[in-house]
Amino acid sequence: MAEVSKPSLMARLKRGLLMTHTELIARVGDAIKVRFSPDPKALDALEEALIAADVGPVTAAELVSAVRTEAGRRDAGESDVVRRVLKAEIERRLAVPGPPIGTPAPGHPRVILMVGVNGTGKTTTAAKLAARAAAAGGKPVLAAADTFRAAAIEQLEVWADRIGIPLVKHRAGADPAAVVFDACVVAKSRGADLLLIDTAGRLHTKHNLMEELSKIRRIAGREIEGAPHEVLLVLDAVTGMNGLAQVREFLKAAGVTGLVLTKMDGTAKGGVILAIVRELGIPVRYVGVGETVEDLLDFDPAAFAAALIDD
């Protein structure tokens, strides 16, 4: 994947998290100024602000407890203890190792399976990852395995034409596993180094979802050793914790290895990322902070924490 420079990443993150940052800092102005002896009222305000940012009540209480403990250990000259502790704790909590990511055999493409409910930006994210790979000199292939939505196939087709990469598609309503089979054949024949598979996001029934994803995984693994090497679950940050009940079905069915948080720029509740990682125990791989390809960023816990807390 193409790398984004640190200054660019920080600038985009700060822009994308502006709503959450502004709301959080405005609510905790007093707590940010806490010195050696934290004011209980200020810490209550801090906890309320963190909950408002959707970090979850348990995480909010733990963060405030860490601030209270650390502030009690420092001399009265340190005025930024709250910022420092919050940044360190947020970074630590987001730096989870997660399940292992597969390594493709020499000469074989890396296969990434994109999963998630409809409306999260899953199809667009698959296309953006393909565009990033192509811009970095890679040879990606896209597979339109969300055959339940003609619009998803058309959307990928527009992106593939725009960035000039191969797209494997069938008609709407076709067997998704057949699309994946053909995509694997095409990727190998073209010497591709990346195959991105967009899958259906409709939870038609739990059983059908699990069967469909299991079949896709079997076909991919049979045609390309170790595939899928990554399974990325795409979540809409605006929906936040409300979408987790559905997400758990994908965790059971798909063997998710990483998360993509989209639409971070459209919410003041960007702290939901902490609650999601705590709940699922899976690392964030990418965050979306805008509409362009450049707005899909590799996730950096330290940069995220700094963009959220620092002025």
Cis amide leading into 228 (omega within 30): yes
Q: Give the model confidence (pLDDT) of 250-309 as tens digits.
A: 787 788 999 999 998 888 888 888 988 988 889 999 999 988 899 999 999 999 999 988
Q: What is the mean pLDDT of residues 15-44?
A: 76
Q: What is the mean pLDDT of residues 159-183?
A: 96
H or E stretch covering 69? helix 57-71
Per CATH, the homologous superfamily of domain 110-256 is P-loop containing nucleotide triphosphate hydrolases (3.40.50.300)
Task: Give me the pLDDT at residue 2, please.
Answer: 47
What six digits make up the tokens of 72? 């009690």
Q: Give the model confidence (pLDDT) of 109-143 as tens digits.
A: 999 999 988 888 999 999 999 999 999 999 999 99
Percent of the chain scoring above 90 in pLDDT: 50
User: Considering just the CA atoms, what is the radius of gyration of the chain in Å?
Assistant: 21
- pLDDT band per the 50, 70, 90 thresholds, residue 32: low
Asked whether residue 3 carries a pLDDT value surpassing 60, the answer given is no
Highest mean pLDDT among 38-47, 180-189, 295-304: 180-189
More reliable by pLDDT, 106 or 1: 106
DSSP per residue over 193-254, as a string? Answer: SEEEEEE----S-HHHHHHHHHHHHHHHHHHSTT--SEEEEEEETTTGGGGHHHHHHHHHHH
User: What is the pTM (predicted TM-score) of this model?
Assistant: 0.90
Question: What are the extents of the domains in the chain?
Answer: 110-256
225 CB-contact burial (10 Å; exposed 0-12 / middle 13-18 / buried 19+): middle
Cβ-Cβ contacts under 8 Å for 173 (sequence gap 6 or more): 147, 148
Asked whether residue 76 carries a pLDDT value surpassing 80, the answer given is no
Long-range contacts of 40-43 (CB under 8 A, 24+ apart): 43/67, 43/68
What six digits make up the tokens of 63? 């963060």
Contact present, 54 and 272 (Cβ < 8 Å):
yes
